[in-house]
């Protein structure tokens, strides 16, 4: 099959999306290398991302390109044999076992605090903002932290555990506003160092530690954007660990991206270049891990807000690239742009969700009134 036939095959797959190769719309891909067609058909989403990084194609609105593909449910047409094999491998191997726990820190979070400072809000909150009444990123992230604290009913002198504390933004917010004692854990050395600096003088302890190594008892526990690194083979272990750490009258809040279907692996390009050993949980997988350990008090979805958050991160990244580019290659720029915009497109297509789940050990007496 020559390249023209490969192109015709891809055009046939794209037909339901109204995406046209070398078309005039901003979401239409402009292909500069004809080897793009057989490579994408043979290696699926991995090749789509790698050829973009290599400059073989481009699109004026990459986020809308992905929104249209995902909304039309044609992504499986580009699924390669290697993707299927990796899914089978994940059923037999625990990619998120404790000996591999720090790989994501080294690969993704230790690449430079400066990058994240330029891209994120002033608190460096690397998760979905709550845009209900917010007009900018700082307000959206503050509203998200406030929502979490109100859901947890945090009070003075409580002992709080933050699993996956990032750069300490949430721990600092709680310690200052609620006068509570916070223990934050992360698997990133650079995150831990900056979090300690930012929380200096506050009742906050930052630990470089895997969640499975934690000990103690806490009045409240929360986890923001960390559960995506746990892996389905470890969900029950995670919930059991949290249950053992939480006092009988405590509350646990899980803030996580979720998928519409139960899977065992994440997209192969995302796994290789952005979040190794990660995967998105389904509602079914979370519920099975919760069963017998917690009572579900509340389950809120504001996944559409992640589209806005990601597009704001991308704009910040783009606006600050001149200040950042000395430390990175052009290929990294294209990789990071592809990551942010393909994720924005997936949330816009409602393929991914953002859940906040409130759990209690035995059910809160008299019922739980969920803030919004």
Find the distance separating the first CA and the last CA of the chain, reported in whole Å: 56
Catalytic residue among 149, 165, 342, 343: 343
Is 158 within 8 Å of 169 (Cβ atoms)? no
Q: Annotate 219-282 with DSSP letters as a single string.
A: EEEEEES-GGGT-GGGHHHHHHHHHHHEEEEEEEEEEEEEESS--SS--HHHHHHT-TT--PPB
Pull the structure tokens for residue 159: 């002992």
DSSP code, position 161: E
Distance of CA 15 to the CA centre of its chain: 30
Distance (Å, whole) CA 131 – CA 14: 33
Residue 343 bears catalytic tag: yes
The residue to which tokens 């005039």 are assigned? 24
What is the bridge-based pairing of β-strands 295-301 and 352-360? antiparallel
Residue pair 9/70 in contact (Cβ under 8 Å)? The answer is no
- Sort 167 into a burial class: Cβ within 10 Å, 0-12 / 13-18 / 19+: buried
Q: Are 335 and 53 in contact (CB under 8 A)?
A: yes
Residues 6+ apart with CB under 8 A from 359: 251, 252, 253, 254, 290, 294, 295, 296, 297
Q: Assign residue 256 a region (left: φ > 0; alpha: ψ between -120 and 50; beta: otherwise).
A: beta
230 and 257 Cβ atoms separated by less than 8 Å: no
**How many Å apart are CA 141 and CA 264, to the nearest integer?**
30
Please answer whether residues 280 and 228 qualify as being in contact, where contact means their C-beta atoms are separated by less than 8 angstroms: yes
Which amino acids are annotated catalytic?
343
């Amino acid at each position: 099959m020559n390249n023209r036939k490969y192109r015709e095959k891809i055009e046939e797959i794209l037909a339901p999306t109204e995406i046209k190769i070398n078309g005039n719309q901003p979401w239409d891909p402009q292909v500069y290398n004809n080897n793009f067609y057989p490579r994408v058909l043979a290696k699926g989403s991995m090749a789509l991302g790698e050829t973009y990084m290599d400059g073989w194609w481009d699109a004026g609105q990459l986020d809308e390109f992905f929104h249209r593909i995902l909304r039309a449910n044609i992504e499986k047409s580009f699924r390669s044999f290697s993707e299927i094999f990796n899914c089978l491998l994940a059923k037999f191997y625990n990619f998120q076992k404790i000996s591999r726990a720090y790989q994501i820190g080294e690969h993704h979070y230790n690449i430079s605090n400066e990058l994240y400072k330029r891209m994120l809000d002033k608190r460096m909150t690397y998760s979905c903002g709550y845009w209900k009444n917010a007009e900018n990123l700082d307000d959206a992230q503050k509203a998200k932290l406030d929502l979490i604290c109100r859901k947890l009913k945090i009070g003075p002198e409580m002992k709080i555990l933050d699993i996956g504390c990032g750069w300490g933004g949430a721990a600092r917010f709680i310690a200052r506003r609620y006068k509570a004692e916070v223990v934050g854990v992360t698997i990133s050395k650079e995150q831990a160092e900056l979090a300690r600096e930012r929380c200096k003088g506050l009742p906050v302890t930052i630990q470089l530690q895997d969640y499975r190594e934690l000990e103690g008892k806490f009045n409240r526990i929360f986890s923001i954007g960390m559960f995506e690194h746990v892996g389905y083979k470890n969900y029950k272990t995670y919930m059991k660990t949290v249950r053992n750490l939480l006092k009988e009258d405590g509350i646990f809040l899980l803030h996580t991206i979720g998928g519409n279907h139960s899977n065992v692996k994440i997209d192969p390009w995302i796994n290789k270049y952005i979040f190794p050993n990660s995967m998105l949980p389904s509602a079914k997988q979370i519920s099975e891990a919760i069963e017998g350990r917690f009572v579900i008090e509340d389950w809120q979805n504001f996944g559409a807000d992640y589209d806005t958050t990601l597009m704001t991160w991308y704009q910040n990244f783009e606006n600050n690239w001149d200040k950042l580019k000395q430390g990175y290659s052009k290929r990294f720029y294209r990789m990071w742009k592809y990551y942010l915009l393909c994720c924005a497109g997936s949330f816009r297509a409602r393929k991914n969700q953002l859940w906040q789940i409130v759990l209690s050990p035995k059910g809160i007496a008299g019922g739980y009134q969920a803030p919004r």
